[in-house]
């Protein structure tokens, strides 16, 4: 029996337990899936995988496996982020068709009446300061000639679910194109770095190459899923395009960063087919999957992931270099 089949046998009971506890989404390619439905499924996504690399208990704490996990409050920042993504990925015209600026204070009679009027038109009111920022940032991205077509000619927010060796995975592609996956990222750039440098630092800080490799691998599952007929909510006239996209194995992954504080400038960074960083990222993903298997085997789906750790004796070399220097110099 191969190691892969052993792993599949070890995980299959947990997959069945997950299916009983959660509304598990069938494997397949999905157009138009809501963000809420996507995130509610316990399949492994890029965020969970990155936590599993070095801290599996953090993965469990924030996952649907934890019945006492903190509420994911819908903060103004999250609402703004969703609205900005929709405007950029789907286009300003479509965004304006479903949203309208709220120009008056919402706690005054005139503002309350304005909000009621916007809602009566079937639109979502957006505070004017947020509306202006969304419109400006969207325009700035398209004004960057390198990125002007980054979100044209494709389909936004395509979700893919698949199973490998008894483990379920998922990806949500910001923008699927024939020769690329475009991923929109916000960046605060609090220290005022040169923006290109700030983008590269963010890729390292947040392990974004892991996300890129996971999305790349997820896209490669589409051809098999399409052959199996596991395609949902895809308009009939878009199926030929989707089949052609799925057959293309040589595509780039493009990060599109925008600066969310200050001038909403943008910058693109690509990982072309064959970039060795995909290989490094795959090693990290493999580590995450092994950790997932180990913790699932030890704790399963119904027990908190609380590892028993050894008692460590503190050594001088365990401390930061600056503290070691302080110990030796007394300064």
In this predicted model, what pLDDT tens digit does every residue of 99-144 receive, in sequence order?
999 998 888 888 899 999 999 999 999 999 999 999 998 999 999 9
Is 125 inside a domain boundary? no
**Is residue 4 very low, low, confident or very high in pLDDT (cuts 50, 70, 90)?**
very low
Is 94 inside a domain boundary? no
Is 135 inside a domain boundary? no
- Decide: 88 and 133 in contact? Cβ < 8 Å: no
φ/ψ of residue 305, rounded to 5:
-85, 85
φ/ψ of residue 124, rounded to 5:
-100, 125
The answer to which of 15-24, 51-60, 196-205, 212-221 has the lowest mean pLDDT is: 15-24
Tokens of 153: 């000619």
Is 147 inside a domain boundary? no
State the pTM of this model: 0.87
Measured CA to CA, the distance from residue 216 to residue 273 in angstroms comes to 10
Is 91 inside a domain boundary? no
Is 120 inside a domain boundary? no
Is 325 inside a domain boundary? no
- In this predicted structure, the answer to whether residue 180 has a pLDDT above a threshold of 60 is yes
Is 56 inside a domain boundary? yes
Q: Residue 167 sits in which domain range? A: 3-73+155-299
What is the CATH number for 290? 3.90.320
Number of domains in the chain: 1
pLDDT of amino acid 64? 86
Which whole-number Å values give the CA distances from 11 to 18, 146, 221, 304, in the listed order?
A: 11, 45, 20, 17
């Amino acid at each position: 029996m191969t190691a892969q089949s052993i792993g599949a046998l070890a995980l299959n009971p947990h997959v069945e337990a997950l299916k009983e506890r959660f509304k598990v989404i069938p494997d397949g390619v999905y157009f138009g899936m809501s963000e809420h439905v996507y995130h509610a499924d316990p399949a492994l996504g890029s965020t969970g995988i990155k936590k599993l690399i070095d801290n599996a208990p953090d993965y469990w704490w924030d996952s649907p496996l934890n019945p006492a996990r903190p509420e994911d409050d819908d903060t103004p920042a999250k609402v703004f982020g969703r609205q900005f993504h929709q405007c950029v990925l789907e286009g300003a015209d479509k965004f304006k068709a479903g949203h309208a600026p709220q120009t008056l204070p919402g706690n005054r009679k005139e503002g309350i009446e304005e909000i009621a009027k916007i809602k009566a038109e079937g639109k979502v009111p957006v505070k004017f300061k947020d509306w202006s920022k969304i419109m400006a940032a969207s325009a700035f991205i398209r004004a960057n000639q390198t990125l002007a077509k980054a979100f044209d000619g494709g389909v936004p927010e395509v979700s893919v679910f698949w199973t490998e060796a008894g483990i379920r995975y998922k990806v949500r592609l910001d923008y699927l194109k024939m020769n690329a996956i475009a991923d929109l990222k916000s960046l605060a750039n609090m220290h005022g770095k040169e923006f290109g440098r700030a983008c590269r630092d963010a890729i390292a800080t947040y392990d974004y190459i892991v996300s890129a490799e996971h999305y790349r691998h997820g896209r490669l599952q589409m051809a098999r899923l399409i052959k199996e007929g596991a395609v949902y909510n895809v308009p009939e006239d878009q199926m030929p395009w989707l089949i052609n996209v799925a057959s293309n194995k040589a595509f780039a992954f493009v990060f599109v960063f925008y600066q969310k504080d200050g001038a909403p400038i943008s910058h693109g960074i690509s990982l072309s087919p064959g970039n060795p960083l995909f290989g490094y990222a795959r090693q990290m993903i493999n580590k995450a999957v092994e950790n997932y298997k180990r913790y699932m085997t030890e704790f399963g789906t119904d027990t908190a992931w609380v590892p028993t750790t050894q008692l460590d004796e503190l050594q001088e070399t365990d401390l930061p270099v600056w503290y070691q220097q302080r110990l030796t110099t007394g300064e």
